[in-house]
A and B are shown apart, each in its own frame.
Chain A
Amino acid sequence: MEQFVPVKRSKDGQPVRYLVVDDSVFARKNLARMIETFGGQVAGEAGDGVTAITEYVRLKPDIVLMDITMPQMEGIEAAEKIVQQNPEARIVMVSSVGYQENIVAALQRGARHFVQKPVKPEVLYEVIKYVMGEDGTAAHAAGAGA
Protein backbone atom coordinates (compact mmCIF):
# COMPACT_ATOMS: atom_id res chain seq x y z
CA MET A 1 0.00 0.00 0.00
CA GLU A 2 1.21 3.47 -0.88
CA GLN A 3 2.92 5.44 1.90
CA PHE A 4 1.81 9.04 2.47
CA VAL A 5 3.48 12.05 4.04
CA PRO A 6 2.50 11.64 7.71
CA VAL A 7 -0.25 13.89 9.04
CA LYS A 8 0.58 14.94 12.61
CA ARG A 9 -1.20 17.07 15.16
CA SER A 10 0.05 20.66 14.87
CA LYS A 11 -0.06 21.29 18.62
CA ASP A 12 2.36 18.54 19.67
CA GLY A 13 3.63 16.79 16.52
CA GLN A 14 2.06 13.53 17.67
CA PRO A 15 0.24 11.14 15.30
CA VAL A 16 -3.42 11.89 14.64
CA ARG A 17 -5.53 9.52 16.76
CA TYR A 18 -8.51 7.77 15.12
CA LEU A 19 -11.62 5.99 16.32
CA VAL A 20 -12.73 3.53 13.61
CA VAL A 21 -16.42 2.61 13.69
CA ASP A 22 -17.74 -0.12 11.40
CA ASP A 23 -19.67 -3.33 12.02
CA SER A 24 -17.34 -5.14 9.62
CA VAL A 25 -14.06 -6.35 11.10
CA PHE A 26 -12.66 -6.44 7.59
CA ALA A 27 -13.57 -2.79 6.97
CA ARG A 28 -12.03 -1.75 10.29
CA LYS A 29 -8.79 -3.59 9.50
CA ASN A 30 -8.70 -2.09 6.04
CA LEU A 31 -9.12 1.45 7.41
CA ALA A 32 -6.53 0.75 10.11
CA ARG A 33 -4.01 -0.21 7.42
CA MET A 34 -4.69 3.06 5.60
CA ILE A 35 -4.37 5.06 8.82
CA GLU A 36 -0.96 3.48 9.32
CA THR A 37 0.16 4.69 5.89
CA PHE A 38 -1.03 8.21 6.85
CA GLY A 39 1.23 8.12 9.92
CA GLY A 40 -1.81 7.98 12.21
CA GLN A 41 -2.67 5.85 15.22
CA VAL A 42 -5.83 3.80 15.79
CA ALA A 43 -6.88 4.79 19.31
CA GLY A 44 -9.88 2.46 19.30
CA GLU A 45 -12.52 0.60 17.34
CA ALA A 46 -16.27 0.14 17.64
CA GLY A 47 -18.72 -2.13 15.84
CA ASP A 48 -21.89 -0.09 16.36
CA GLY A 49 -23.12 3.42 17.08
CA VAL A 50 -23.77 2.90 20.79
CA THR A 51 -20.23 1.69 21.43
CA ALA A 52 -18.88 4.52 19.27
CA ILE A 53 -20.40 7.10 21.62
CA THR A 54 -18.89 5.56 24.75
CA GLU A 55 -15.53 5.03 23.05
CA TYR A 56 -15.48 8.65 21.88
CA VAL A 57 -15.97 9.88 25.45
CA ARG A 58 -13.28 7.52 26.73
CA LEU A 59 -10.66 8.10 24.02
CA LYS A 60 -11.31 11.64 22.74
CA PRO A 61 -9.82 10.84 19.32
CA ASP A 62 -8.84 13.53 16.81
CA ILE A 63 -10.94 11.94 14.07
CA VAL A 64 -13.78 9.43 13.92
CA LEU A 65 -14.26 7.34 10.78
CA MET A 66 -17.89 6.26 10.97
CA ASP A 67 -19.84 3.73 8.88
CA ILE A 68 -23.57 4.36 8.38
CA THR A 69 -25.34 1.01 8.13
CA MET A 70 -24.73 -0.71 11.46
CA PRO A 71 -26.75 -2.73 13.97
CA GLN A 72 -28.16 -1.19 17.18
CA MET A 73 -27.57 2.43 16.23
CA GLU A 74 -26.73 3.68 12.75
CA GLY A 75 -23.78 5.95 12.10
CA ILE A 76 -25.65 9.17 11.36
CA GLU A 77 -27.53 9.02 14.67
CA ALA A 78 -24.31 8.19 16.55
CA ALA A 79 -22.52 11.10 14.85
CA GLU A 80 -25.30 13.46 15.86
CA LYS A 81 -25.15 12.35 19.50
CA ILE A 82 -21.36 12.66 19.64
CA VAL A 83 -21.40 16.15 18.12
CA GLN A 84 -24.21 17.29 20.43
CA GLN A 85 -22.01 16.48 23.41
CA ASN A 86 -18.69 17.34 21.75
CA PRO A 87 -19.10 20.08 19.15
CA GLU A 88 -15.38 19.92 18.36
CA ALA A 89 -15.65 16.27 17.21
CA ARG A 90 -14.36 15.64 13.71
CA ILE A 91 -16.44 12.86 12.19
CA VAL A 92 -15.95 11.54 8.67
CA MET A 93 -18.70 9.24 7.40
CA VAL A 94 -17.38 6.24 5.45
CA SER A 95 -20.15 4.33 3.73
CA SER A 96 -20.93 2.41 0.56
CA VAL A 97 -24.34 4.10 0.45
CA GLY A 98 -23.39 7.51 -0.89
CA TYR A 99 -26.53 9.06 -2.27
CA GLN A 100 -27.30 12.73 -1.84
CA GLU A 101 -29.88 12.40 0.94
CA ASN A 102 -27.52 10.32 3.06
CA ILE A 103 -24.66 12.76 2.61
CA VAL A 104 -26.83 15.78 3.37
CA ALA A 105 -28.34 14.08 6.44
CA ALA A 106 -24.87 13.22 7.76
CA LEU A 107 -23.51 16.72 7.23
CA GLN A 108 -26.60 18.36 8.73
CA ARG A 109 -26.20 16.26 11.85
CA GLY A 110 -22.61 17.23 12.40
CA ALA A 111 -20.36 15.07 10.23
CA ARG A 112 -17.51 17.02 8.65
CA HIS A 113 -17.12 14.96 5.47
CA PHE A 114 -18.24 11.86 3.56
CA VAL A 115 -16.16 9.19 1.80
CA GLN A 116 -17.77 6.46 -0.27
CA LYS A 117 -16.64 2.83 -0.11
CA PRO A 118 -14.65 1.23 -1.54
CA VAL A 119 -12.30 3.72 0.03
CA LYS A 120 -9.42 4.97 -2.08
CA PRO A 121 -6.48 5.75 0.25
CA GLU A 122 -5.54 8.91 -1.66
CA VAL A 123 -9.10 10.24 -1.30
CA LEU A 124 -9.30 9.52 2.42
CA TYR A 125 -5.87 11.06 2.95
CA GLU A 126 -6.95 14.35 1.35
CA VAL A 127 -10.17 14.34 3.41
CA ILE A 128 -8.17 13.80 6.62
CA LYS A 129 -5.91 16.75 5.82
CA TYR A 130 -8.95 18.90 5.02
CA VAL A 131 -10.84 17.93 8.17
CA MET A 132 -7.81 18.43 10.42
CA GLY A 133 -7.30 21.88 8.89
CA GLU A 134 -4.86 23.97 10.86
CA ASP A 135 -4.86 21.38 13.65
CA GLY A 136 -2.97 18.99 11.37
CA THR A 137 0.37 19.19 9.61
CA ALA A 138 1.56 17.00 6.77
CA ALA A 139 5.32 16.82 6.99
CA HIS A 140 8.07 14.33 6.18
CA ALA A 141 9.48 12.48 9.19
CA ALA A 142 12.54 14.72 9.38
CA GLY A 143 10.35 17.80 9.63
CA ALA A 144 7.63 16.34 11.84
CA GLY A 145 6.76 18.53 14.79
CA ALA A 146 8.75 21.42 13.37
Chain B
Amino acid sequence: MKMELIQPFINAADAVLAQGLQCPTSVGNLSMEQEAYRRKGVAALIWVTGDIEGRIVIDLDPDTAVRVASRFAGAELPESDELVRETVCELANQVIGNAVTSLNDQGFHFRVHPPVLHTSEHGPKSSEDTEALVICFETDIGNVFLNIALRHNASRQPERATAVGQ
Protein backbone atom coordinates (compact mmCIF):
# COMPACT_ATOMS: atom_id res chain seq x y z
CA MET B 1 0.00 0.00 0.00
CA LYS B 2 1.55 3.28 -1.08
CA MET B 3 2.03 6.24 1.24
CA GLU B 4 0.14 8.48 -1.21
CA LEU B 5 -2.96 6.47 -0.28
CA ILE B 6 -2.31 6.46 3.47
CA GLN B 7 -1.28 10.05 4.12
CA PRO B 8 -4.75 11.54 3.38
CA PHE B 9 -6.29 9.20 5.97
CA ILE B 10 -3.71 10.21 8.58
CA ASN B 11 -4.25 13.91 7.84
CA ALA B 12 -8.04 13.54 7.90
CA ALA B 13 -8.09 11.57 11.16
CA ASP B 14 -5.73 14.05 12.77
CA ALA B 15 -7.88 17.02 11.71
CA VAL B 16 -11.26 15.47 12.56
CA LEU B 17 -10.11 14.20 15.96
CA ALA B 18 -8.39 17.47 16.87
CA GLN B 19 -11.50 19.49 16.01
CA GLY B 20 -14.01 17.12 17.58
CA LEU B 21 -12.04 16.47 20.75
CA GLN B 22 -10.61 19.98 21.04
CA CYS B 23 -7.18 18.58 21.87
CA PRO B 24 -3.93 17.84 20.03
CA THR B 25 -3.43 14.32 18.68
CA SER B 26 -0.28 12.47 17.71
CA VAL B 27 0.40 9.42 15.60
CA GLY B 28 1.71 6.61 17.78
CA ASN B 29 2.34 3.08 16.59
CA LEU B 30 2.07 2.31 12.92
CA SER B 31 2.14 -1.35 11.96
CA MET B 32 1.27 -3.78 9.20
CA GLU B 33 -1.27 -6.35 10.29
CA GLN B 34 -0.35 -9.83 9.18
CA GLU B 35 -3.05 -11.82 10.93
CA ALA B 36 -6.81 -11.56 10.79
CA TYR B 37 -8.15 -8.29 12.10
CA ARG B 38 -9.13 -8.42 15.76
CA ARG B 39 -11.64 -5.85 16.95
CA LYS B 40 -10.62 -3.83 20.00
CA GLY B 41 -14.00 -2.47 21.05
CA VAL B 42 -16.52 -0.20 19.34
CA ALA B 43 -15.65 -0.28 15.64
CA ALA B 44 -17.14 1.29 12.52
CA LEU B 45 -16.36 -0.07 9.09
CA ILE B 46 -16.63 1.75 5.78
CA TRP B 47 -16.20 0.16 2.36
CA VAL B 48 -14.87 2.15 -0.55
CA THR B 49 -15.15 1.11 -4.18
CA GLY B 50 -13.69 2.63 -7.31
CA ASP B 51 -10.10 3.24 -8.36
CA ILE B 52 -9.06 2.03 -4.93
CA GLU B 53 -11.07 -0.66 -3.20
CA GLY B 54 -11.14 -1.95 0.32
CA ARG B 55 -12.24 -1.09 3.81
CA ILE B 56 -11.32 1.22 6.63
CA VAL B 57 -12.13 0.51 10.26
CA ILE B 58 -12.09 2.99 13.11
CA ASP B 59 -11.77 1.15 16.37
CA LEU B 60 -11.79 2.29 20.00
CA ASP B 61 -11.80 0.34 23.23
CA PRO B 62 -15.20 0.68 24.95
CA ASP B 63 -14.11 3.18 27.62
CA THR B 64 -12.37 5.41 25.08
CA ALA B 65 -15.42 5.21 22.80
CA VAL B 66 -17.63 6.56 25.58
CA ARG B 67 -15.19 9.38 26.34
CA VAL B 68 -14.78 10.31 22.67
CA ALA B 69 -18.53 10.21 22.03
CA SER B 70 -19.19 12.31 25.12
CA ARG B 71 -16.63 14.89 24.02
CA PHE B 72 -18.13 15.02 20.51
CA ALA B 73 -21.67 15.24 21.90
CA GLY B 74 -20.75 17.86 24.48
CA ALA B 75 -22.43 15.82 27.23
CA GLU B 76 -21.67 12.73 29.28
CA LEU B 77 -23.10 9.65 27.57
CA PRO B 78 -23.81 6.34 29.30
CA GLU B 79 -21.63 3.41 28.24
CA SER B 80 -24.47 1.46 26.70
CA ASP B 81 -25.87 4.38 24.78
CA GLU B 82 -26.63 3.82 21.11
CA LEU B 83 -25.30 7.31 20.59
CA VAL B 84 -21.78 6.08 21.42
CA ARG B 85 -21.91 3.63 18.51
CA GLU B 86 -23.50 6.28 16.31
CA THR B 87 -20.72 8.71 17.13
CA VAL B 88 -18.01 6.21 16.21
CA CYS B 89 -19.78 5.62 12.87
CA GLU B 90 -20.00 9.35 12.22
CA LEU B 91 -16.36 9.77 13.21
CA ALA B 92 -15.45 7.12 10.61
CA ASN B 93 -17.68 8.81 8.07
CA GLN B 94 -15.97 12.16 8.56
CA VAL B 95 -12.42 10.79 8.51
CA ILE B 96 -12.98 8.68 5.41
CA GLY B 97 -15.00 11.39 3.67
CA ASN B 98 -12.27 13.97 4.17
CA ALA B 99 -9.54 11.55 3.07
CA VAL B 100 -11.48 10.56 -0.03
CA THR B 101 -11.99 14.23 -0.86
CA SER B 102 -8.24 14.71 -0.78
CA LEU B 103 -7.58 11.57 -2.84
CA ASN B 104 -10.17 12.63 -5.38
CA ASP B 105 -8.19 15.82 -5.91
CA GLN B 106 -5.24 13.56 -6.80
CA GLY B 107 -7.31 11.86 -9.50
CA PHE B 108 -8.64 8.81 -7.63
CA HIS B 109 -12.36 8.24 -7.90
CA PHE B 110 -14.34 6.47 -5.21
CA ARG B 111 -17.72 5.64 -3.95
CA VAL B 112 -17.98 5.76 -0.15
CA HIS B 113 -20.56 3.45 1.38
CA PRO B 114 -22.45 4.31 4.58
CA PRO B 115 -20.64 3.24 7.77
CA VAL B 116 -21.69 0.05 9.49
CA LEU B 117 -20.93 -1.14 12.98
CA HIS B 118 -18.29 -3.84 12.89
CA THR B 119 -19.54 -6.35 15.38
CA SER B 120 -17.64 -9.54 14.63
CA GLU B 121 -14.52 -10.23 16.68
CA HIS B 122 -12.39 -10.83 13.62
CA GLY B 123 -12.19 -9.31 10.18
CA PRO B 124 -10.83 -10.54 6.86
CA LYS B 125 -7.19 -11.53 6.89
CA SER B 126 -4.70 -9.47 4.89
CA SER B 127 -3.85 -10.91 1.52
CA GLU B 128 -1.02 -10.46 -0.93
CA ASP B 129 -2.69 -7.53 -2.65
CA THR B 130 -4.64 -6.17 0.32
CA GLU B 131 -2.31 -5.27 3.16
CA ALA B 132 -3.78 -3.87 6.34
CA LEU B 133 -2.09 -0.95 8.01
CA VAL B 134 -2.94 -0.07 11.61
CA ILE B 135 -2.35 3.49 12.78
CA CYS B 136 -2.78 4.48 16.41
CA PHE B 137 -3.78 8.07 17.17
CA GLU B 138 -2.98 9.10 20.72
CA THR B 139 -5.29 11.64 22.30
CA ASP B 140 -5.67 12.91 25.86
CA ILE B 141 -8.70 10.66 26.36
CA GLY B 142 -7.40 7.45 24.81
CA ASN B 143 -6.19 5.83 21.62
CA VAL B 144 -8.10 5.71 18.36
CA PHE B 145 -7.11 3.00 15.89
CA LEU B 146 -7.42 3.34 12.14
CA ASN B 147 -7.17 0.05 10.28
CA ILE B 148 -6.82 0.48 6.52
CA ALA B 149 -6.87 -2.31 3.95
CA LEU B 150 -6.96 -0.97 0.41
CA ARG B 151 -5.80 -2.11 -2.98
CA HIS B 152 -5.58 -0.58 -6.42
CA ASN B 153 -8.39 -1.68 -8.68
CA ALA B 154 -6.32 -2.86 -11.63
CA SER B 155 -9.27 -2.84 -14.02
CA ARG B 156 -9.67 0.93 -13.49
CA GLN B 157 -6.03 2.00 -13.84
CA PRO B 158 -6.30 3.18 -17.48
CA GLU B 159 -9.40 5.16 -16.53
CA ARG B 160 -7.54 6.90 -13.73
CA ALA B 161 -4.54 7.61 -15.95
CA THR B 162 -6.89 9.38 -18.34
CA ALA B 163 -8.56 11.25 -15.50
CA VAL B 164 -5.28 12.67 -14.21
CA GLY B 165 -3.96 13.33 -17.68
CA GLN B 166 -1.02 10.93 -17.47
Q: Which A residues form the contact surface with B (CB < 8 A)?
A: 1, 23-27, 29-30, 33, 69-71, 95-101, 116-118, 120
- Kindly identify which residue among B83, B86, B93, B113 contacts A96, using a CB–CB cutoff of 8 Å: B93
Interface residues of B in 121-150 (CB under 8 A from A): none
A95 with B97: in contact, given A23-B114, A69-B114 (CB under 8 Å)? yes
Chain B: CB-nearest residue to A74: B114
B83–A25 touching, CB < 8 Å: yes
Chain B: CB-nearest residue to A103: B101
Contacts of B98 in A (CB 8 A): 96, 98, 116-117
- Kindly identify which residue among B19, B74, B90, B104 contacts A27, using a CB–CB cutoff of 8 Å: B90
In the complex, A97→B96 CA distance in Å? 8
In the complex, A71→B93 CA distance in Å? 13
B112–A69 touching, CB < 8 Å: yes
In the complex, A1→B83 CA distance in Å? 19
In the complex, A33→B73 CA distance in Å? 9
A69 with B113: in contact, given A25-B83, A99-B101, A116-B101 (CB under 8 Å)? yes
| 22 chain-A/chain-B pairs, Cβ below 8 angstroms | A24-B90, A25-B82, A25-B83, A25-B86, A26-B73, A26-B86, A26-B87, A26-B90, A29-B73, A33-B74, A69-B93, A70-B114, A96-B94, A96-B95, A97-B100, A97-B101, A100-B104, A116-B97, A117-B93, A117-B97, A118-B19, A118-B20
In the complex, A116→B113 CA distance in Å? 17
- Cβ-based interface call for B27 (8 A): no
Contacts of A25 in B (CB 8 A): 82-83, 86
- Cβ-based interface call for B4 (8 A): no
Shortest CB distance A60–B (Å): 28
Chain B: CB-nearest residue to A70: B114
Q: Mark B100-117, 1 if CB is under 8 A from A, else 0.
A: 110011000000111000
- Cβ-based interface call for B6 (8 A): no
B93–A24 touching, CB < 8 Å: yes
Contacts of B72 in A (CB 8 A): 26, 30
Contacts of A30 in B (CB 8 A): 72-73
Complex A-B, nearest 3 residue pairs according to Cβ-Cβ distance, in ascending order: A96-B97, A99-B104, A26-B86
Centre residue among A1, A95, A117, A118 by max chain B CB count within 10 A: A118
B89–A24 touching, CB < 8 Å: yes
Contacts of A27 in B (CB 8 A): 90, 93
B94–A118 touching, CB < 8 Å: yes
- Cβ-based interface call for B16 (8 A): yes
Shortest CB distance B98–A (Å): 6
Q: Mark B67-78, 1 if CB is under 8 A from A, else 0.
A: 001001110000
Known: A25-B82, A97-B101. 11 other contacts (CB 8 A): A24-B89, A25-B86, A26-B73, A26-B90, A69-B112, A69-B113, A96-B98, A98-B101, A99-B105, A118-B19, A118-B94
